[in-house]
């Protein structure tokens, strides 16, 4: 089960794109008119995320189609690939409602988020009080400030909840964490202006994606060992049954002419899942954000297409 019933959060009507544009497929590197002031690479993920792809962009980039229509990212996480591509049309989604509301808050009211974050002290007592607040009853701006603050000051930048959907990461041992990076938040807000952002399962992309679109799946990984798990990403978890459904959705999209790229661990189960009809490439990744020291360091991950 998802942490809440899947629903679509209201988003502003999309701003019409300029009428003068080449062909049906847009070059992925061409910036939108309203974000031309953002230099390439300026907008970067505003939250830390386990398995974030910023360090692997050089491996992902050559495997991305040079032209596509709409970009879909159903496990948006930190959004490293989205901020790298800055596509003209994007559908971003996740089952983590607080994460989705954080993106909406940054997109729609970034100055309010900045003002709230700037007022938050780096203090253990304040952290514990904010952590225990009933955040789901608050506005998107308050959720965004809550999420970013806890992400920046919590232990190893983890997002982890228990079965009651209570955030349970302890206070981090940081001297002077960057709680409010105002300029990057503004750049991210501009980059998100034309993105549709919603709470939805990865399976929802099968109904939205059209031939010529590009979908990037970056799910919670299949654990490399029995002691490692990413299922606390939401209160519902993400097990092998979900991994199999993800594989089936990827195959369905591919057969319909949608370009598909996936990331996952190099666990034997992943090789078995994607052994038929997919191209697998092992790449090295350094994973520093982990609750256990043994889980950090250089490991192999798979890029699948």
Is residue 109 within 8 Å of residue 143, measured between CB atoms?
no
Q: In whole angstroms, what is the distance from residue 23 CA to residue 18 CA?
A: 13
Residue 116 vs residues 25, 113, 207, 288: alpha-carbon distances, Å:
40, 5, 37, 29
The H-assigned helical ranges of 154-214 are 182-191, 205-208
Determine if residue 146 is labeled as part of a ligand binding site: no
Strands 71-73, 90-94: pairing is parallel
Determine if residue 108 is labeled as part of a ligand binding site: no
The H-assigned helical ranges of 57-159 are 57-60, 80-85, 97-108, 110-118, 124-131, 140-153
Neighbour-count burial for 161-189, b at 16+ CB within 10 Å, e otherwise:
beeeeebebebbeeeeeebbbeebbbbbb
Determine if residue 53 is labeled as part of a ligand binding site: yes
Neighbour-count burial for 119-151, b at 16+ CB within 10 Å, e otherwise:
ebebeeeebeebbeeebeeeebbbbbbbbbbbb
Q: Which of 168, 173, 170, 179 is nearest to 145 (CA)?
A: 179
CA-based max dimension of the chain: 56
Is residue 211 within 8 Å of residue 254, measured between CB atoms?
no
Determine if residue 26 is labeled as part of a ligand binding site: no
Three-state secondary structure call for residue 297:
strand
Task: Report the binding-site residues for S-adenosyl-L-methionine.
Answer: 49, 53, 94, 218
Task: Report the binding-site residues.
Answer: 49, 53, 94, 218
């Amino acid at each position: 089960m998802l942490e809440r019933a899947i629903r679509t959060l209201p988003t502003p009507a999309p701003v019409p794109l300029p009428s003068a544009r080449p062909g049906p497929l847009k070059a992925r590197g061409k910036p939108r008119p309203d974000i031309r002031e953002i230099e390439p690479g300026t907008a970067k993920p505003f939250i830390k995320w386990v398995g974030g792809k910023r360090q692997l962009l050089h491996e992902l980039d050559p495997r991305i189609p040079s032209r596509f229509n709409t970009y879909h990212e159903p496990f948006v996480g930190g959004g490293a690939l989205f901020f790298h591509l800055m596509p003209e049309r994007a559908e971003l989604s996740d089952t983590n409602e607080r994460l989705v509301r954080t993106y909406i808050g940054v997109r729609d009211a970034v100055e309010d988020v900045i003002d709230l974050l700037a007022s938050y002290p780096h203090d253990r007592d304040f952290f514990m009080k904010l952590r225990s607040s009933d955040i789901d009853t608050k506005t998107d701006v308050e959720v965004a400030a809550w999420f970013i603050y806890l992400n920046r000051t919590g232990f190893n930048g983890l997002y982890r909840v228990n079965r009651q959907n209570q955030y349970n990461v302890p206070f981090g041992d940081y001297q002077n964490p960057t709680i409010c990076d105002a300029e990057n938040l503004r750049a991210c807000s501009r980059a998100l202006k034309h993105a549709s952002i919603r709470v939805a399962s990865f399976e929802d992309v099968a109904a939205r994606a059209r031939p010529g679109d590009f979908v990037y799946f970056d799910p919670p990984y299949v654990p490399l060992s029995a002691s490692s798990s990413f299922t606390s990403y939401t209160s519902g978890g993400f097990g092998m049954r979900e991994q199999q459904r993800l594989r089936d959705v990827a195959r369905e999209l591919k057969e319909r002419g949608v370009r598909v790229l996936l990331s996952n661990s190099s666990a034997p189960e992943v090789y078995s899942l994607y052994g038929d009809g997919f191209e697998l490439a092992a790449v090295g990744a350094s994973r520093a954000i982990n609750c256990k020291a043994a889980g950090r360091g250089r490991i192999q991950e798979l890029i699948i297409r």
